[in-house]
């Protein structure tokens, strides 16, 4: 229809611009959907006409016109992608009609080893010289891309070491490259996936921080993650997963119309976190000193690197006042002396100012709730690390 006629721009009875064919024969007109005896004038929009007049679209259009079998194949694949894009990887598919072919838009990840000595790997990571903040930040950055909306992203596949993720500003490329060099060496030494080692590294860092605070903690860990290759990764498609803000690491790429705390909520809901899980993760990540670029905003503790509930204790302490100190920044000062104690962002202080979030914060600030804080933090952390482990469900 497009290629077989010339088209002219006209107006509809309602006054809208539309395209109709010039001198179309009666027998070439499409039949009415309800009465086949009636033939109707075909109408095209600008979007339709673009297929004909744009040189790139025109080339595709002509190939479809000349090769109906090719058109059918491409249409079938496009329809399958459209109707299955939000299901996630192929491992989530069930039934006899699942295609055997592996498609790149399914974000394929090969299976990883499960039969190795996890404790030996953890010991090697602990002796690597990497800090708690480096280990935890890397694991978090690898896992935080998970989106419950379409089951994309996450730590499985270790795509944080591939383009485009390795170069994202939020992942601190220089720091990331340093950590990955060490962890990749450990993965090679044990012949296991770097994806597993990254998550194990985060666990090791948290366990060390808990011990430093006087608490024994062993985080659950499920081996079996695989390492995706560059050939299995659609870099252009993954680019849209780049975080523009991450309140969990107290960072945003630039100032936005949307407030920092609203961006935090959006990140949390994408990761399928509850309000309680979001709160406990913020408090733990702050005292572990995992802020982007080493920022000290919100690090309400004199013992950074230890897994304590200090963030909540000091956030809710009436001995301090909050003073604005620029866009999105605040100073935490001693109420009596006026001396500067800490700095904070809106993301930090929303847990003291919002009535619902403050209720969670006050629970974790209680003197007798240090154990509860560590237990809840460990559970929320494990949920994030395993969010894309559909083989565990």
Query: How would residue 325 be classed by pLDDT, with cut points 50, 70 and 90?
Result: very high
DSSP structure string for 120-166: HHHHHHHTS---HHHHHHHHHHHHTT-BTTTTB-SSTB-GGGSTTGG
Residue for token pair 């936005």: 256
Average pLDDT, rounded, for the chain? 97
Helix, strand, coil in percent for the chain, rounding step 5? 50, 10, 40
pLDDT at 326: 87
pLDDT at 393 over 80: no
pLDDT at 17 over 90: yes
Q: What's the rounded mean pLDDT across residues 293-318?
A: 98
Q: What's the rounded mean pLDDT across residues 27-48?
A: 95
Query: How would residue 327 be classed by pLDDT, with cut points 50, 70 and 90?
Result: confident
pLDDT at 306 over 80: yes
> Which of 223, 263, 236 has the alpha carbon at shortest distance from 350?
263
Domains along the sequence of the chain with CATH? 7-105 (1.10.420.10), 118-241 (1.10.520.10), 245-376+386-390 (1.10.420.10)
Which bin fits 170, alpha (ψ -120 to 50), beta or left (φ > 0)? alpha
Token pair recorded at residue 372: 């509860």
**pLDDT tens digits along 344-373:** 999 999 999 999 999 999 999 999 999 999
Q: Decide if 192 contacts 116 (C-beta within 8 A).
A: yes
**pLDDT tens digits along 228-270:** 999 999 999 999 999 999 999 999 999 999 999 999 999 999 9
Query: How would residue 60 be classed by pLDDT, with cut points 50, 70 and 90?
Result: very high
CA dihedral 303, 304, 306, 309 (to 10 degrees): 80
Give me the sheet containing 320-324, strands edge to edge.
320-324, 329-334, 340-345
Query: How would residue 139 be classed by pLDDT, with cut points 50, 70 and 90?
Result: very high
Q: What's the rounded mean pLDDT across residues 94-108?
A: 95
The residues, ordered by sequence, that sit 6+ positions from 289 with a Cβ below 8 Å of its Cβ are 132, 133, 299, 304, 305
pLDDT at 23 over 80: yes
For 292, list phi and psi in degrees, rounded to 5.
-55, 135
pTM reported for the whole predicted model: 0.93
């Amino acid at each position: 229809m497009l290629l077989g006629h010339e088209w002219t721009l006209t107006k509809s009875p309602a006054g809208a611009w539309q395209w109709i064919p010039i001198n179309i024969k009666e027998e070439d007109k499409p039949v009415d959907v309800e009465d086949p005896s009636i033939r109707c004038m075909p109408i095209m929009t600008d979007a339709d006409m673009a297929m004909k007049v744009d040189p790139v679209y025109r080339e595709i259009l002509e190939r479809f016109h000349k090769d109906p079998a090719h058109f059918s194949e491409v249409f079938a694949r496009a329809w399958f992608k459209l109707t299955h894009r939000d299901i996630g990887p192929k491992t989530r598919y069930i039934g006899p009609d699942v295609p055997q072919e592996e498609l790149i838009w399914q974000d394929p990840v090969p299976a990883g080893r499960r039969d190795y000595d996890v404790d030996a790997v953890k010991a090697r990571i602990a002796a690597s010289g990497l800090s708690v903040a480096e280990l935890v930040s890397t694991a978090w950055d690898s896992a935080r891309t998970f989106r419950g909306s379409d089951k994309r992203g996450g730590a499985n596949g270790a795509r944080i070491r591939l383009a485009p993720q390795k170069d994202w500003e939020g992942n601190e490329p220089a720091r990331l490259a340093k950590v990955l060099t060490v962890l990749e060496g450990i993965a090679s030494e044990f012949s296991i996936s770097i994806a597993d080692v990254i998550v194990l590294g985060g666990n090791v860092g948290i366990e060390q921080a808990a011990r430093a605070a006087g608490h024994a903690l062993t985080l659950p860990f499920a081996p079996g993650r695989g390492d995706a290759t560059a050939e299995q990764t659609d870099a252009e498609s993954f680019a849209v997963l780049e975080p523009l803000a991450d309140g969990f690491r107290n960072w945003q790429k630039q100032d936005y119309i949307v407030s920092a705390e609203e961006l935090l909520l959006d990140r949390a809901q994408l990761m399928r976190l509850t309000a309680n899980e979001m709160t406990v993760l913020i408090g733990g990540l702050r005292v572990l000193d995992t802020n982007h670029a080493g920022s000290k905003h919100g690090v309400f503790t004199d013992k950074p690197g230890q897994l304590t509930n200090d963030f909540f204790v000091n956030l809710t302490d009436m001995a301090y006042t909050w003073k604005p100190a620029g866009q999105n920044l605040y100073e935490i000062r001693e109420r009596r002396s006026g001396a500067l104690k800490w700095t904070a962002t809106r993301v930090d202080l929303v847990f003291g100012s919002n009535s619902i979030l403050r209720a969670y914060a006050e629970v974790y600030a209680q003197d007798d709730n240090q154990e509860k804080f560590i237990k809840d933090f460990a559970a929320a952390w494990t949920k994030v690390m395993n969010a894309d482990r559909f083989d565990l469900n």
